[in-house]
């Protein structure tokens, strides 16, 4: 029988933050140091169940967002919002 480890065994905790009233959290220095973050950088949050991965946005992320926006942007008019906004 294979042993199942709790999800906390797969990751190590190297920092924590407290949420503000506006649900904002400070990224601890040791984490932005590991990620190579600088002022003005964008971070991406990836969610899997109850776990969240935070990473620096890559140029490929921006290219994907732009491509998807161009494809689906044509269906984002005011008339579309009236017709389909409550679906």
Q: Which residues pair with 46 in a beta bridge?
A: 53
Residue 7 has pLDDT above 60, yes or no: no
Q: Read off the pLDDT of each residue in 75-80 and give the average, rounded to a whole number.
A: 75
Please state the φ and ψ torsions of residue 51, each to the nearest 5 degrees: -105, 145
CATH classification at residue 49 = 2.10.260
Which of residues 72 and 39 earns the better pLDDT score?
39
* 31 and 64 part of one domain: no
The whole-number pLDDT of residue 29 equals 92
Residue 81: predicted pLDDT: 78
Q: How many domains does the chain have?
A: 2
Q: Which of 75, 41, 77 is nearest to 61 (CA)?
A: 41
Instruction: Kindly report, residue by residue over 22-70, the tens digit of the pLDDT.
Output: 999 999 999 989 899 999 998 989 998 888 889 888 887 766 666 666 6
The residue with greater pLDDT, 1 or 39, is 39
Q: Who wins on pLDDT, 2 or 64?
A: 64
Considering the domain boundaries, does residue 47 fall inside one? yes
Residue the block writes with tokens 């899997």: 48
**Structural domain containing residue 66:** 58-87
The answer to whether residue 7 sits within a structural domain is no
| 63, 51: one domain | no
pLDDT at 19: 93
- Is residue 70 a part of any domain in this protein? yes
């Amino acid at each position: 029988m294979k042993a199942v480890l709790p999800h906390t065994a797969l990751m190590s905790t190297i920092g924590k933050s407290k949420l503000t009233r506006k649900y904002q959290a400070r990224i601890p220095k040791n984490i932005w140091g590991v990620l190579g973050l600088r002022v003005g950088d964008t971070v991406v949050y990836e969610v899997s169940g109850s776990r969240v991965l935070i990473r620096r946005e890559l140029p490929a992320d921006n290219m994907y967002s732009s491509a998807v926006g161009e494809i689906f942007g044509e269906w984002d008019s005011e008339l579309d919002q009236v017709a389909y906004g409550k679906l």
